[in-house]
Structures are given as structure tokens and as C-alpha cells.
Copies of this chain bind each other. A is one copy, B any other.
């Protein structure tokens, strides 16, 4: 394995092998970069200086942008060429940057000096429901403990169109939403949600899209995907419960969705590829299993206003997901629906098989029956004002470890209106 002249310690989330892409602000200027060690390598400046020597990008200004979308649209061979170029540039055996302290000072900016922005312009956001453990838990809680899965669930990666405009980058505070609630037999009221939840998800970022009317085949599907972010799907369960029949979740979901700022590339994830659960019945041919799940650990943490540090409340793994990203892309486009660069496909809540690996408060507390006890002596069933939630992910295999950074947000009180 290659190593960088930056002498990155083992276990650092951003080794040479990772190189996740992000958009950052530094001294008032927005640029694109990759994370390496505790730095960001400024690709906008690298391109501007003519030092980004990648043939496929000749004459293009894909990093003189405020989002990754233009780079995404260049396609997989180009993404891979840039990755190879950057790995080589940062390699301990390459002298160009290694031996040029002045250039390093320009191009490598300490992450402590930057503010991360939305990595992509999200034109379309789709949220799936692809964890069999999550769908089973929700079915047991609200429908039928004996037959918790709906008849379509094992045949199609169930999903719905979400609200792209409400996707925000990690650190953006989320106001407690108001909405219409129906409590027991009382008439409906308009009030702040009393059941503020969040869901552990990953968000796959579409790199290259497809034309309306032209499906992406299951074999080609993975090549359309550029990378992955963490995603916190904030949910107001009481609003959702009253509104969702028959057209699905709407205001219970679209008041805010948090993503992590660093996009980990599919290329960097390859060593962590696993087969994923067996699918029974065998999916139809257009959804034929490609075995591209990934072994990615996810940790959900909470910090109330009385706590000094985050406390873990769930530890799950993406590898449990029943439907994988290739199946989701093939299904999404089988009717001709057009995906576009920067679109996000949410995995749906990632729940594992054991109660400590459930991916949402509604499952972790079993619909409120079991409050979560915090180190501060507090209890939580749902989120209180000023609670902060953080999602942290890491993929590990032998000595190789790549991190996703963090997706976090704090719950603000509802405004009066």
C-alpha cells in the first residue's frame, strides 16, 4: 500500500488511501479539496496553477466551482484518473510537493482553519427503506408482530422521492418543526413535534446520470455512483403518523436532512466490499444481486445541554442492508426516471440485528417503552431542545482504515408563529 510523505498515523480517518472530496470555505473563498491527514488539499488552486495534470481534464475547470457537480459529471474513468494523480502527488516517493515547502503551505490547508459547505448541489433526493431489520421493527411496532414485512418489501427496494432543498451540511442547526398532530381521539392541533427522531443512514451520491426514458441496467448501475456521505434523516414521528396515508412521508421528514461534508469515493470503499445478506426470494433479473454491500461501522451519539461529551446510543453497520446501491439505482431508473449528478440516494434507516444496533430512536426505545438512560442521569425517548446528535462512520480492514468524518446537528426550539 502507498503511503504519504505526510506521515499520517495509523487509524487516522483520512489516510492517503481515502482522499474524500469536499467543498470548503477558507479566508472567505469557497474551494474544492480532498481531505488528507489533518489537512485539505486545495484542488481549486491546484487546477488554477495548472498543476492538476490529468489528461481527461485538459482544458476543463471542474474544480473552479462551488460544488462537486461539474467534476461528478466527468464520469468514472476521469474520477479514477484524478484519484490516481492525487495519490501519486501525495505519495512519499513523489518529490514534486514533498520537497516544495512553499507549495505545500499554499495547497495544504489545516482543517482547523476551514468551514465545510454542502459538497454537492442536490437536484434530486430519494430515500429508500432497505434495511430488513428496520422494516421489520417498524412493522412489528405499528402493523403486525407476526407478519411485519409488507408483501412488496422483499421484491422491490421500496423508496420515495424526498425534498432536496432541505438537505443541509453537518453543523447546521435544525429547528424543531411544527405541524399537524392528532393525539388519540382529540381533534388535530398545530404544535411543535413531540416525537423528534433521527435515523442513521448513508447517502450515495450519483456521479453520472441517465436520460429520461433510458434505464440504467443493474450491471452498469454501480459505475454511476461517485461516493458516499453519512446522512441523518430527521423525523417528526407524530406529524408523519397523521399525514402519511396514502401518499407517504412529507412534512414529517422534509424540515431538514443532515449530510456529512466529505464524500468518500466508491473507489476508496472497494476493499470493504462484502456480499450482503442473502435475498429470498431471488430478485427479478433487473435487480440481480451484484454483491456490493460494504462493511462500514456507524455510531450514533447524543450530547444533551447537560453533557460535556457525546455518548453512543447505537452502533450499527451498513453491511446488514438487504438492498444494495446497484439494486436501488437499477430500480429507480427501470421506469426511465432520470438521475442527475449530485442526486442523493438515501439508504433508509440502517438497523442491525440486535437492539443496540437499531438505527432510530423509535426502534431503540421500542416506541417509547424503553427510555434511553444517559450518563448525565437524563433520559430520552425522543430528542429534547438543544440536544445534539452525531453520526460517525469508519471502515476498517486489517491496517487499512478510512473515516467519513462526522454528521452532526443540534435541535433548536420551535419558533412561535
Contacts and interface: CB of A to CB of B under 8 A. Distances in A.
A59 B195 CA distance: 49
B332 A165 contact: no
Nearest to A332: B251
A316 to B, nearest CB: 21
A163 B247 contact: no
A348 to B, nearest CB: 9
A335 interface: yes
Interface string A325-343: 0000001101111111001
A247 B336 contact: no
A162 B162 CA distance: 7
Contacts of A158: 243, 246-247, 250
A81 B130 CA distance: 51
Contacts of A217: 417
Interface string A250-279: 111011100000000000000000000000
Nearest to A124: B165
Contact of A334 (B246, B251, B343): B251
A367 B158 CA distance: 25
Contacts of A339: 165
Given A160-B161, A250-B159, A340-B165, A152 B334 contact: no
Contact of A177 (B239, B243, B335): B335
A42 to B, nearest CB: 29
A15 interface: no
Contacts of A155: 180, 182, 188
Contacts of A165: 123-124, 212, 337-340, 343
A56 interface: no
A11 B164 CA distance: 41
A247 B249 contact: yes
A285 interface: yes
A54 to B, nearest CB: 29
B245 A188 contact: no
B164 A124 contact: yes
Contacts of A417: 215, 217, 286
A176 B177 CA distance: 39
A284 B255 CA distance: 20
A150 interface: yes
A178 interface: yes
Interface residues of A, number: 68
Contacts of A331: 180, 251
A338 B168 CA distance: 11
A5 interface: no
A244 interface: yes
A36 B340 CA distance: 36
A156 B242 CA distance: 9
Contacts of A249: 160, 247-248
A146 interface: no
Given A162-B161, A242-B152, A334 B247 contact: no
A162 B254 CA distance: 12
A217 B215 CA distance: 41
Contact of A190 (B162, B245, B285): B285
B284 A163 contact: no
Interface in A174-195: 174-175, 177-180, 182, 187-190
A243 B334 CA distance: 13
A161 B250 contact: yes
Q: Give the top 3 A-B pairs by smallest Cβ distance, nearest first.
A: A248-B248, A177-B335, A160-B247
19 contacts: A124-B163, A155-B180, A155-B182, A158-B250, A160-B161, A161-B254, A163-B337, A165-B340, A178-B215, A178-B334, A179-B335, A180-B284, A215-B417, A236-B335, A244-B248, A248-B248, A251-B334, A252-B335, A254-B335
